[in-house]
Amino acid sequence: MDPKQLTIEQVQEILLKEKYVCDRSLATVVYLSLVMGKPLLLEGEAGVGKTEIAKVLAKVLNAKLIRLQCYEGLDANTALYEWNYPKQMLRIKLEEVEHGDKAKVETEIFSQEYLIKRPLLEAIQTDGANPPVLLIDEIDRADMEFEAFLLEVLSDFQITIPELGTVSAQHRPYVFLTSNRTREIHDALKRRCLYHWIEYPTFEKEYEIITTKFPEVETKMAQQICAFMQKVREMNFYKRPGVAETLDWASALIALNRKNLDDKSVVETMGCVFKYREDLHHLREQVESRQINLDALLRASPELVS
Amino acid sequence: MDVTPETVATAVSHVASARGKGTLPNLMAFARALKQLGIKVSLSQVLDASRSVELVDIGERPDFRALLRANLVSQKEDFPVFDMAFDCFWREQTYERMPMETMEIQGTPTESDAPEGGDEEGGLEEAASEAMANENLQLDNLDEFSVPTYSAQELMNRKDFSEMGVEESRAIARAIMLIATKIATQISRRKKVGRKGNTVDPRWTMRRSMKYGGEVIELVHRKKRIKKTKVVLLCDVSGSMDCYSRFLIQFMYGLQNELWGVETFVFSTSLSRITHLIRTKDIVNALEKISGSILGWSGGTNIGRSLHTFNRNFAPSIVTHRTVVVIISDGWDRGDVSLLEREMQDLKRRAKKIIWLNPLLASENYEPLCKGMQAALPYLDLFLSVHNVNSLVSLGRTLQKMVA
């Protein structure tokens, strides 16, 4: 499928086929990013599906997904390429024993065979029919220095290896960057990207997500789950649950054969939603003091046209 | 800068003359309006936006909005301002026929408070004069910031710290040592070269092997290195903090001498850097120097203005993403709350963590109700009590958890 021929509606459709529910504005931005060949920077709270969209896109575009997980201390060696030192050394030793041709060895040990490709080089050098999807995950975790270095790669899509020369991309990879906002990304990098902030889903969207992922779920329980999640996101918890938590919870409830949510099953399965002791404690208090009332929540939730 | 529907309308009217036929001039004008409203937009972003306009049906207003937003805005905080500006600039009639000659001020959907019934020119003039007045106001403010003011209300006291007991300061110094080392020694993911460690560094192993004729005899390892986190202390020494200042000065002294790269500032109505004053191992001398040289001790508080001075004059060179900013204050502020909020936001963006230590937090029924404290709260990573040695020890534990 050639992404350049797509329309916004089609982007939404093909993502939905892979069970990724996305709203119109996100679809527009993804579409633009695909057509313009411009990297897309996705920000949003944890668990709203930033990483997922890149994975799903790679799948629907039938492209290779190359993922670069960022962390502090990530450097060019682990992101770009590295010479295979042990292999080079072994080769030299062998040639020593066999009295090989010195000049030949020198050129040969700096050839593709001795090069370890790391994600960025791999993304640029991929020679399939489709350009790959390059996912640079949690860029905010990497150092500022790495960002500066990324800048160079993302603007020219080429990498210079002194011993081999410049490698430039045959197809520009589709680049997605995600950030959890633990720190600000530098303006220069942001300027080279399209930007989108993924919000927590609305009640309707979350309902759609649950029913898309789990078609077997009971309507009432799905509504209860959504209403509950909407409510707790408004409340004062240390870590607000994302869509990933909603889906975990829904699948747990389905596995337990629950058809209906009650206070007891909420408290029992809360480990899917809250991952901090303080939050769990806070929730139990809220349920006990009737601050969270499932029936009231359900009544207050918007009517859904089924 | 506070953005209201009025300022948006003003900014849009300012760029009205730059509008023209076709997409690009209009986009440029829109970008200029955004710039006036404090959203940074680069030329390349505008060009990309104009390129992408051809790719979607701009008759679909939501798509058009999403398109411009993705291209021109790069942080979530700017979304509301962008949306206001978008509504104001790309109004229906403009939107339907891109090239437009004049800009009417009244009837702008966002400008509800503007006087009704004036003709077009009157509206424009009014908006313009309003903008002028605003600018003058800002200039006045700037003057105020750059000249240290000494008003009659400010109490210029010289504090005598000599009565501070030796025993007391030793206990505090011990507690501070614990805290300081916790903040100072974070394990970094970056590795440095060393003889021991868990991963082999091939580059350096090769290098070392040179002296043995290429035979690998020594293995060079990499180990995790200790990362130095920098700390900036901003300490409130105004009148309301009087009963704690003796203790605070101990804290500042202790932290600075325990840690590498600590910068210390005190503020009341204005801000002064005292790093150089307490760079000494001799506490008695240090205390004398400080009480002798700081004017405005025990006066009123203007946290917003002090932070503004800090952000403008010091933060660019001192505060990085490795810096923990510690503010010690009770949050009683007599200055402009919106200024305080803006400056906190600015600081938050630069710093790794902002910790606020509030001595009042210790009292059971304290709630951060004063406006200054409330404005600052959303930008804090930690809000802790600091009123005695015990609270410092627990602060140490909290910090330990935080950096672990």
Cα distance between residue A33 and residue A58, in whole Å: 14
Among A24, A35, A184, the residue with its CB nearest the CB of B349 is A184
Provide the percentage of residues in chain B whose pLDDT is more than 90: 2
Task: Measure in Å the smallest separation between the Cα of A120 and chain B Cα atoms.
Answer: 20
Residues A227-274: pLDDT tens digits?
A: 999 988 988 787 889 999 999 999 999 999 888 888 888 888 999 999
Task: Measure in Å the smallest separation between the Cα of B56 and chain A Cα atoms.
Answer: 8
Residues 6 or more apart from A64 whose CB is under 8 A from it? A58, A126, A128, A130, A132, A133
Residue A215 banded pLDDT, cuts 50, 70, 90: very high
**B390 vs B182 pLDDT, higher one:** B390
Residue B150 banded pLDDT, cuts 50, 70, 90: very low
For chain A, domain boundaries: 3-80+118-198, 81-112, 203-300
Selection from A207-211, B37-41, B269-273 with the highest mean pLDDT: A207-211
CA angle B245, B250, B254 (to 5 degrees): 145
Mean pLDDT confidence for B37-51? 86
CB contact under 8 A, B202 and A86: yes
Check residue A25 and give its pLDDT.
92
CB contact under 8 A, A71 and B62: no
pTM score, whole prediction? 0.61
Mean pLDDT confidence for A92-103? 84
Among A31, A85, A195, the residue with its CB nearest the CB of B202 is A85
CB contact under 8 A, A194 and B40: no
Cα distance between residue A185 and residue A148, in whole Å: 10
Check residue B18 and give its pLDDT.
74
Mean pLDDT confidence for B44-59? 84
B223 touches chain A (CB under 8 A): no
Cα distance between residue B26 and residue B21, in whole Å: 7
Cα distance between residue A201 and residue A247, in whole Å: 13
Provide the percentage of residues in chain B whose pLDDT is more than 70: 54
Closest-CA residue of chain B to A45: B76
- Asked if the model's pLDDT at residue A45 lies above 80, the reply is yes
Check residue B294 and give its pLDDT.
65
3-class SS of residue A74: coil
**B183 vs A141 pLDDT, higher one:** A141
Task: Measure in Å the smallest separation between the Cα of A246 and chain B Cα atoms.
Answer: 24
Check residue B400 and give its pLDDT.
54
B76 touches chain A (CB under 8 A): yes
Check residue A52 and give its pLDDT.
93
Check residue B242 and give its pLDDT.
66
The CATH number of domain B166-182+228-403 is 3.40.50.410: yes
Those residues of chain A whose CB sits closer than 8 Å to some CB in chain B are 8, 24-25, 28-29, 31-32, 35-36, 38, 40-41, 43, 71-73, 85-86, 89, 92, 143-144, 183-184, 187, 190-197
Closest-CA residue of chain B to A7: B56
B216 touches chain A (CB under 8 A): yes
Residue B337 banded pLDDT, cuts 50, 70, 90: confident
B71 touches chain A (CB under 8 A): yes
- Asked if the model's pLDDT at residue B154 lies above 80, the reply is no
For chain B, domain boundaries: 5-143, 166-182+228-403, 189-227
Residue numbers in B near A194 (CB within 8 A):
70-71
Residues 6 or more apart from B49 whose CB is under 8 A from it? B27, B67, B68, B71, B72
Residue numbers in B near A196 (CB within 8 A):
70
Check residue A197 and give its pLDDT.
93
CB contact under 8 A, A85 and B203: yes
Residue indicated by tokens 């009590």 = B385
CB contact under 8 A, B63 and A24: yes
Closest-CA residue of chain B to A144: B321
User: What is the count of residue pairs from A and B with beta carbons less than 8 Å apart?
Assistant: 79
Mean pLDDT confidence for B164-169? 52
Fold of A3-80+118-198: Rossmann fold (3.40.50)
Task: Measure in Å the smallest separation between the Cα of B146 and chain A Cα atoms.
Answer: 28
Check residue B106 and give its pLDDT.
35
Cα distance between residue B52 and residue A33, in whole Å: 9
3-class SS of residue A44: strand
Segment among A78-82, A159-163, B87-91, B92-96 with least mean pLDDT: B92-96
Residues A213-244 as b/e (b if ≥16 CB within 10 A, e otherwise) read bbeebeeebbbbbbbbbbbbeeeebeebbbbe
Cα distance between residue A50 and residue A40, in whole Å: 11
Task: Measure in Å the smallest separation between the Cα of A214 and chain B Cα atoms.
Answer: 30
How high is the mean pLDDT of chain A?
A: 87
Listed by number, the residues of chain B in 284-323 with a beta carbon closer than 8 Å to a beta carbon of chain A are: 321
Residue numbers in B near A29 (CB within 8 A):
66-67, 70
Residue numbers in B near A110 (CB within 8 A):
none
Query: For residue B264, what are the β-bridge partners?
Result: B233
Check residue B124 and give its pLDDT.
38
Closest CA to A150 of A173, A170, A130, A131: A173
Residues B209-224: pLDDT tens digits?
A: 777 777 777 777 776 6
Check residue A138 and give its pLDDT.
92
- Asked if the model's pLDDT at residue B157 lies above 70, the reply is no
Check residue B295 and give its pLDDT.
58
- Asked if the model's pLDDT at residue B36 lies above 50, the reply is yes
Segment among A75-84, B43-52, B58-67, B380-389 with least mean pLDDT: B380-389
Residues B362-397: pLDDT tens digits?
A: 666 666 667 778 888 888 888 877 766 666 666 666
B206 touches chain A (CB under 8 A): yes
- Asked if the model's pLDDT at residue B155 lies above 70, the reply is no
Residue B399 banded pLDDT, cuts 50, 70, 90: low
Residues B235-287: pLDDT tens digits?
A: 887 777 766 666 666 667 766 666 666 788 888 878 888 877 776 666 666 66
Closest-CA residue of chain B to A4: B55
Mean pLDDT confidence for B312-340? 82
Residue numbers in A near B74 (CB within 8 A):
41, 187, 190-191, 193, 195
Residue numbers in A near B76 (CB within 8 A):
43, 197
Provide the percentage of residues in chain A whose pLDDT is more than 70: 98
Alpha-carbon torsion angle B287, B293, B298, B302, nearest 10: -120
Segment among A58-62, B93-97, B108-112, B222-226 with least mean pLDDT: B108-112
Among A35, A89, A183, the residue with its CB nearest the CB of B55 is A35
Residue B148 banded pLDDT, cuts 50, 70, 90: very low
Closest-CA residue of chain B to A72: B189
Segment among B236-240, B291-295, B352-356 with least mean pLDDT: B291-295
Closest CA to B372 of B336, B397, B343, B347: B336
Check residue A59 and give its pLDDT.
92
Check residue A32 and give its pLDDT.
93
Residue numbers in B near A191 (CB within 8 A):
42, 44-45, 74
Listed by number, the residues of chain B in 39-58 with a beta carbon closer than 8 Å to a beta carbon of chain A are: 40, 42, 44-45, 48, 51-52, 55-56
**B123 vs B395 pLDDT, higher one:** B395
Cα distance between residue A54 and residue A70, in whole Å: 15
- Asked if the model's pLDDT at residue A278 lies above 50, the reply is yes
Mean pLDDT confidence for B143-148? 28
Residue A116: Cβ-neighbour burial (10 angstroms; 0-12, 13-18, 19+): middle
Closest-CA residue of chain A to B53: A32
- Asked if the model's pLDDT at residue A133 lies above 90, the reply is yes
Closest-CA residue of chain B to A199: B76
Check residue A208 and give its pLDDT.
93
